[in-house]
């Protein structure tokens, strides 16, 4: 041990006298840090973690390849190593000390970079700072050991430069440090899984942005540790004391040996795609951590209150402040300014009644259809949906992907298959034969993650009434929902069915009674029992088969051309005029009677495509005589409460998720202004609507 400690001490002293050490360990990374920070507008908070990770990778690569690889070649060419040849010492202390000294020299550089990032750019102290420190140390030693292999096989300074440049720049460009992985084609992202620097960068991103621990990045840690030991071992076998000693050309293949751990780990990653998905998640987290100042907007705030001129500050994905009147300067707040003059800022819309297993038009085969539908909601300013009649197996992958930030889509609250009478052959329904069987089905849906349950006494519309569900079974469903803290929504098409649903203990009524007047006493019961009405006028209107519903601008923007074309062919029979008179009158009277109202488009039903449906529902509500402010509340705060997301969604208030919709004009005066979308923000991420469908082809 004494030779190791002695050589480490001597090497440390010599290193601090070397200007190259100071440059590659301190000045070189700091130059890149300030360049990247300025280009990424790090003062706005969004990219500082990424900048810090990039600079660490650049510093570690420089320390390992240029510092370690070239330094050892210089020592051999200047006959410095020759002096140790006659001493009773093996190459091991020299190689180990080079690795340890490289790590010890670089850690202060990493700390200095962090201090600048923290105090100048506001980078938060890492939650897993011990994991971050250990990971930097492990990564530095691994690349320093790689540098020793380069030094072992290079016969001259010129040759070492060629080898280093051949490794350094591909690792820099393909690791994510210089170019975000999400910008690269899919096939290039696969190649990066075999590059050592990718694991260094991904590990740092995961620890800093996703707040993961060292154990969460065990594959990267193991690969880097094995690489360190393997490289030191090979370097000992190839070690040369004098510049006159030559190696066989085949010895240069030893460089490939240092990539072996990453060959195996990369093969696994190509199969699992864990790192690729994590990289997408990290990129989304970085976007959501940026600061925005939406200035001088008309704001639709709490309880339908309208603030004529105010600004909203968004930080770390949340609404941080609301400034009424003149807001502070965006530069002072270190936020990206968004001019919203003459525009209205709304909470992101919520559609509590959709069916994702159906397109709303022609059923075309597509493995990514649900993902595209969820992206269409974001495009339309809808940040959450209540799924009805969709199996948990269909939705679970999408829910996980959206929650992790791997894909962009509306949040999903689901009810699972609809409870219906036996004899219904649809795959999207449960048909319990007894109350006890119904209870077990409710319990299974709760375990699967359902946030509500939907049942039907009939088919919920005026056509093709299905066999009626036994009321005793409905009571069992309602009772079990109460025990499981789930809401029960019952589809009805008649006054009698509404009455039976209220008797059973339903929490929501879907459709109501579209073709007959609902008596006042029914509305009084609904109010007294806090039962919500979801009229879904959009679904009822579309029963007319009027293809003009597909010609709205927002529908044509989100609808894939092949879907719109096939749908027009499918429903080309003559349209029957839609008569919503009774349904609209029922809605207006429910409002006057104080019944809780929530919008719900029924997207997925005939001619109601996913995304724009809630905008049509708002239009029909206002046409029915509902004040625009009431309709907007029903599509934001009331809908959030109904789905159980009221703690985060539905309001523009400090502490809430910054999921916002900025529209041109004033929807309180002209409700169709909700479709004139200027900006969508999802949990602090400013959405680029022009390329939202690029990764989710139909």
- Euclidean distance between CA atoms 522 and 431, whole angstroms: 28
Task: HSE, CB side, 13 Å, CA atoms: give it for residue 691.
Answer: 4
Model pLDDT, residue 47: 67
SS3 88: coil
pLDDT given for residue 460 in this prediction: 42
* Cβ pair 301, 651 in contact under 8 A: yes
- Going by C-beta distance under 8 Å and a sequence separation of 6 or more, which residues neighbour residue 524? 593
Whether residue 454 contacts residue 415, with contact meaning beta carbons closer than 8 Å, is answered with yes
**Residue 145 DSSP SS3:** helix
Q: What angle do CA 280, 281, 283 make, to 5 degrees?
A: 65
pLDDT at residue number 698: 54
- The Cα 148–Cα 155 span in angstroms is 13
| 84 conformational bin, left if phi > 0, alpha if psi -120 to 50, beta if neither | alpha
- Are residues 344 and 666 in contact, defined by beta-carbon separation less than 8 angstroms? yes
Q: By C-alpha distance, which of 380, 425, 420 is closest to 552?
A: 380
Write down the pLDDT at residue 12.
64
Q: Which residues contact 389 (CB under 8 A, 6 or more apart)?
A: 355, 357, 415, 417, 418, 428, 429, 454, 604
User: Do the beta carbons of residue 632 and residue 597 sit within 8 Å?
Assistant: no
Between the alpha carbon of residue 175 and those of residues 16, 61, 111, 259, 539, the distances in Å are 30, 11, 22, 14, 49
CA dist., res. 430 & res. 457, Å (int): 13
**What is the dihedral sign for C-alpha 659, 662, 667, 671?**
negative
Given 3-state DSSP classes, what are the helix, strand and coil percentages for the chain, each rounded to the nearest 5? 55, 15, 35
The pTM for the full model equals: 0.86
Q: Which residues of the chain have pLDDT under 70?
A: 1-4, 6-8, 10-21, 24-25, 42-43, 45-47, 79-89, 241, 243-244, 247-252, 255, 367, 425-427, 459-466, 695-698
Helix (H) or strand (E) holding 679: strand 677-682
How far apart are the C-alpha atoms of 61 and 256, rounded to whole Å?
17
What was the pLDDT predicted at 165? Answer: 86
Closest CA to 32 of 48, 54, 62, 65: 54
Q: On the CB side of 113, how many CA atoms lie within 13 Å of its CA?
A: 33
Hey, how many other C-beta atoms are within 10 angstroms of the C-beta on 270? 15
Please tell me the predicted confidence (pLDDT) of residue 341: 95
Pairing of strands 660-664, 343-347: antiparallel
User: What local confidence, expressed as pLDDT, does residue 172 receive?
Assistant: 87
Cα atoms in the 13 Å half-sphere on the side-chain side of 253: 3
């Amino acid at each position: 041990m004494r030779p190791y400690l002695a050589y480490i001490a001597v090497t440390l002293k010599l290193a601090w006298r070397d200007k190259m050490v100071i440059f590659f360990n301190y000045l070189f990374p700091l130059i890149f840090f300030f360049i990247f920070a300025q280009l990424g507008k790090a003062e706005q908070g969004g990219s500082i973690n990424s900048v810090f990770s990039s600079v660490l990778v650049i510093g570690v690569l420089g320390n390992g390849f240029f510092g370690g690889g070239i330094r050892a070649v210089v020592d051999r060419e200047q006959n410095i190593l020759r002096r140790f040849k006659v001493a009773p010492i093996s190459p091991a202390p020299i190689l180990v000390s080079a690795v340890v000294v490289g790590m010890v020299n670089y850690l202060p550089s990493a700390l200095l970079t962090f201090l600048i990032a923290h105090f100048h750019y506001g980078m938060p102290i890492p939650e897993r700072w011990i994991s971050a420190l250990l990971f930097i140390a492990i990564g530095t030693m691994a690349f320093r050991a790689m540098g020793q292999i380069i030094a072992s096989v290079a016969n001259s300074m010129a040759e070492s430069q060629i080898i280093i440049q051949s490794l350094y720049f591909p690792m820099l460009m393909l690791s994510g440090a210089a170019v975000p992985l999400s910008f690269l084609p899919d096939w290039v992202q696969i190649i990066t899984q075999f590059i050592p620097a990718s694991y260094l960068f991904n590990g740092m991103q995961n620890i800093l942005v996703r707040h993961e621990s060292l154990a969460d990045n065990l594959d990267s840690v193991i690969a880097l540790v094995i690489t360190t030991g393997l490289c030191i071992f090979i370097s000992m076998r190839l070690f040369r004391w004098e510049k006159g000693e030559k190696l066989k050309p085949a010895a240069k293949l030893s460089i490939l040996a240092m990539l072996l751990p990453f060959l195996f780990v990369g093969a696994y990653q190509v199969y699992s795609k864990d790192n690729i998905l994590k990289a997408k998640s990290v990129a989304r987290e970085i976007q959501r951590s940026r600061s925005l100042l939406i200035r001088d907007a008309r704001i639709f705030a709490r309880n339908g209150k309208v603030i004529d001129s105010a600004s909203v500050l968004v930080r770390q994905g949340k609404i941080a402040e609301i400034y009424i009147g003149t807001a502070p300067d965006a530069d002072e707040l270190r936020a990206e300014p968004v001019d919203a003059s003459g525009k209205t800022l709304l909470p992101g819309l919520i559609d509590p009644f959709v069916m994702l297993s159906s397109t709303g038009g022609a059923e075309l085969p597509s493995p990514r259809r649900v993902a595209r539908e969820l992206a269409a909601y974001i495009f339309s300013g809808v940040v959450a949906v209540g799924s009805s009649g969709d199996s948990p197996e269909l939705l679970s992958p999408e829910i996980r992907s959206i929650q992790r930030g791997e894909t962009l889509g509306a949040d999903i609250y689901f009810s699972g298959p609809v409870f219906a009478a036996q004899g219904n052959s649809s795959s999207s329904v449960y048909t319990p034969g007894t109350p006890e069987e119904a209870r077990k089905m409710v319990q299974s849906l709760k375990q699967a993650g359902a946030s509500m349950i939907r049942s039907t006494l009939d088919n919920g519309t005026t056509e093709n009434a299905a066999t009626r569900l036994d009321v005793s079974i409905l009571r069992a469903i309602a009772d079990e929902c109460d025990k499981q803290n789930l809401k029960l929504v019952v589809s009805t098409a008649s006054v009698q069915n509404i009455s039976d649903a209220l008797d059973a203990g339903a929490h929501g009524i879907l459709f109501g009674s579209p073709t007959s007047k609902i008596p006042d006493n029914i509305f009084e019961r609904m109010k007294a029992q806090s039962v919500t009405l979801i009229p879904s006028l959009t679904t009822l209107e579309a029963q007319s088969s009027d293809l003009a519903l597909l010609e709205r601008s927002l529908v044509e923007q989100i609808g894939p051309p092949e879907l719109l074309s096939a749908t027009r062919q499918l429903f080309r029979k003559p349209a029957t005029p839609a008569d919503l008179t009774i349904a609209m009158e029922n809605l207006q009277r429910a409002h006057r009677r104080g019944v809780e109202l929530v919008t719900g488009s029924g997207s997925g039903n005939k001619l109601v495509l996913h995304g724009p449906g809630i905008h049509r529902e708002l239009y029909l509500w206002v046409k029915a005589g509902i004040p625009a402010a009431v309709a907007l509340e029903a599509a934001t705060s009331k809908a959030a409460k109904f789905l159980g997301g009221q703690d985060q969604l539905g309001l523009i208030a400090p502490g809430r998720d910054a999921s916002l919709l900025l529209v041109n004009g004033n929807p309180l005066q002209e409700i169709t202004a909700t479709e004139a979308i200027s900006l969508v923000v999802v949990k602090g991420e400013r959405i680029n609507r022009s390329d939202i469908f690029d990764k989710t082809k139909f």
